[in-house]
Structure 1
Amino acid sequence: MAKDAKPVKPEKGTQMPEQGNSPETLDLETRRRNLQEKLARYQRDKKPDPSEQESGPPKGMAQAIRLSSEFLAGVVVGVILGLGFDQLAGTSPWGLIIFLFLGFSAGVLNILRSVGAVAPSQIGKNGASRQDDGPNKPK
């Protein structure tokens, strides 16, 4: 603005265009409506369907229970086999001790397989082939 220039004032009786009808405001209104529609679609897609939600325990808790039960199963089976071996052979604590350690190691191996640290057992996958497993296998 020049130093001596006076600001332009509308003359009395003339009408200024309203802010709501200017092209810039209409463009902003259109953009705002588009943004609201996109946000509504995003919120609708973001909310999980209540029927799809799991009603069970949290995932970490379920995995912890599964791993602990696999470990305990190995130890319990080892104790039962050890006590049975002691009854049959008459070797009082030694069968229990040996089979307890075997059950403990089987439980640890089960946990490592469940977590994925050890490859699953290959027993039965590459065992003896059946006669109908050949190249002329009927379909």
Structure 2
Amino acid sequence: MADPTKQGNGNGREPTSSDDADLSARLKSLDARIDKASAQRQIAEPPARPTSDSSALGQAFRLSAEFVSGVAAGGIVGWLVDRLFGSSPWGLIICLILGFCAGMLNLMRASGALKSARYDDKR
């Protein structure tokens, strides 16, 4: 077993100044190649757009779609109720209000401000 306190490169001979010079030359050559490659990579790659803007925009579209879909569904149901029962404009008004409430509920659930209706707290 090798003695870790001994100086040397493991093959029983002491390092010479020519070995050190060769190692230094290889190290400088490697540094130069790394610098050259990193400079080429910076030139070749366009600057990346921040992903937080696109993520925030996507979330805004999702939340607005949740709200608008609730109100639109309430309006359509209210219009159908008015056409079937002849209760114009009361069915539309009541269902629009219910659609607004459903849209707000969906908006709060999608944003995480409210727990899902299927959440069971009986553990």
What is the TM-score normalised by the length of structure 2? 0.54
Identity of aligned residues (%): 47
CA distance in 2, matches of 1:92, 1:54: 51
Counterpart of 1:60 in structure 2 is 56
Equivalent residue of 1:117, what SS?
coil
Q: Which residue of 2 aligns with 1:115?
A: 111
Q: What is the match of residue 93 of structure 2?
A: 97
Q: How many residues align?
A: 90
Matched to 2:101, the amino acid is: S
Aligned pairs (5 A) from 1:1-12: none
The structure number with the bigger radius of gyration is 1
Q: Which runs of 4+ in 1 moved over 4 A?
A: none
Long gaps (5+) in structure 2: 1-40, 42-48
Unaligned runs of 5+ in 1: 1-43, 45-52, 126-139
Displacement of 1:121: 1.2
| CA root-mean-square deviation | 3.7
Q: Which residue of 1 aligns with 2:7?
A: none
Q: Which amino acid aligns with 1:95?
A: G
Q: For 1:90 and 1:58, how far apart are their aligned partners in 2? A: 47
3-state secondary structure, aligned to 1:73: helix
